Amino acid sequence: MNTADFARQDVLDRLRRSAGDPHRRILFTGATVVTMDPALGVLDGADLLVEGATVAAVGRNLPAAGDAIVVDASGTILAPGFVDTHRHAWEAQLRRIMPDVDDLAGYVTGTLLGFAPAYRPEDMYTGTRLAALTALDAGITTMLDFSHNSRTAAHSDAAVRALADTGIRGVHAAMGPHFGAWDRQWPEDLARLKAEYGGDLLTFRLAALATDEIAGPGLAYGPRLARLAAEYGVGVSVDAVLGAASSRAVLEWEAQGLLGPHVTLIHATGLSADAWRAIGDTGTTISLAPTSDAQIGLDTAVPAVDEALAAGVRPGLGIDVEVALASDMFTQMRALHTIQRMRAVEAVHGSGREPSRIGTRDVLDFATLQGARTNGLEDVTGSLTPGKQADLLMITAEEVNNMPLNDAVGTVVLGADARNIEAVLVAGRVRKWAGRILDVDLRALREEVAASRDHLLAAVRGTTVTD
């Protein structure tokens, strides 16, 4: 271990000893600070002060109080943590089990009809914890877990405890399962979950489907679920918003007064112009899943970023299903950036007209501030604005894949990956340091994940997996 490593360990020890102190101050010095606050922008050679759980100040040459823990952040980019607006976290031990799934029916049949009924509460815990730890390792500090396998209260409890145990800023969006036996405790059990587990880092939403096409009317968003969400004081996340049937549903919700900023529509591919008009008029939020739409082929298979922007909606981004997709936000940003710019140029090719391209700053905005707004947490996280929670990343800019640092936003979006994330803080608490996720026994986790995966394979396929 060299001198720098000793220094980092000493700083980490001090940070961990003082983690519960609301007056503990951390001063990051000499960084390029990508605030994602439109009023603050990007600051070169700047400092960031954290006090307790919040960002206290951002600027150059901030004074270091005698009791502040000083972190030399030169050669790094400080950025807000990424915000995942849609992930089915319980599936994580089934990662890439169907990497070439071709359509929604294949996913539904293989995962929701096949594996989901075999899940025990302990499998819910294992999958959700694995997904949350992976998110933190890759710089996602807020994750909405669309937990649509809530077979019993114990299954839901396990999923929520998994979020809490990792220290991620978790949004538990609860929904009953599509198929198989379950206790029918949802959606009413959501009130208990919120009362029992709600706090600074854990918030709750009601999850639903857009229509009754997949699993019947009980899981479809409508007046009853909207009334319960309002009664419980939670937002609503609606999945499988796809095509003509969902377009009709959107217009029905508009007529019934069921849309608004508290509602998030997920995917939103293949929607009609009238549906987009309703979404924009009501301020309804959108969660795009760029790789899911394109790779699995959901309706048009084209992420609806142009439609959202035309309706005045700046979307958030989500990972969706790890059974077939990548787990990190870097992939989502790059996929969306590439697909949109490709289509923009193709649309005007040979016409002499100028293509309407999005840029790297747009997709980073979607992955941070707009994701927070989509999850109902815009006042809490999503930018390094003084007064917000200190959910932040320290990204090395001098590794071989990032040097030399020429454009900080471009480096975060197009150059960096999980190996460059030196540190992750959530509400001022360190979750990753010196490039390693903290408080995780990787050997024990590996054994737990493999055992859960093997149970599911044996239950569904009548086989076992050996190393």
Domains with residue ranges and CATH for the chain: 3-80+382-434 (2.30.40.10), 82-374 (3.20.20.140)
Mean pLDDT of the chain: 95
Identify the band that residue 10 occupies on the pLDDT scale cut at 50, 70 and 90. confident
What average pLDDT score do residues 32-38 get?
A: 98
**Band of the pLDDT at 3, cuts 50, 70, 90?**
low
Percent of the chain with pLDDT over 90: 91
Q: What confidence score (pLDDT) does residue 464 get?
A: 43
pLDDT of 2 over the 60 cut: no
Residues 217-227: tens digit of each pLDDT: 999 999 999 99
Residue type for position 79: A
Closest CA to 262 of 376, 379, 171: 376
CA distance 73 to 119: 44
**pLDDT over 60 (residue 104):** yes
Q: Global pTM?
A: 0.96
Q: Give the whole-number percent of the chain exceeding pLDDT 70.
A: 97
Q: Quick one: average pLDDT of 396-420? A: 97
| pLDDT at residue 4, as a whole number | 61
- For residues 187-216, average pLDDT: 95
> pLDDT per residue over 253-304, tens digit each?
999 999 999 999 999 999 999 999 999 999 999 999 999 999 999 999 999 9
| pLDDT score of 119 more than 50 | yes
Cβ pair 208, 225 in contact under 8 A: yes
Buried b (16+ CB within 10 A) or exposed e, 292-312: bbbbbebbeebbbbebbbebe
Residue type, 297: G
Residue 244 tokens read as 């003509």
Structure-block tokens of residue 23: 């007056």
- Could you give the CA distance from residue 260 to residue 264 in angstroms, rounded to a whole number? 8
Per-residue pLDDT, 465: 42
pLDDT the model gives residue 467: 35
CA dihedral 123, 206, 185, 111 (to 10 degrees): -40
Positive/negative CA dihedral, 33, 36, 42, 46: negative
Is the predicted pLDDT of residue 65 greater than 90, yes or no? no
C-alpha 255/C-alpha 259 separation (Å) is 9
Residues 209 and 241 sit within 8 Å (Cβ to Cβ): no
pLDDT confidence bin for 236, thresholds 50/70/90: very high
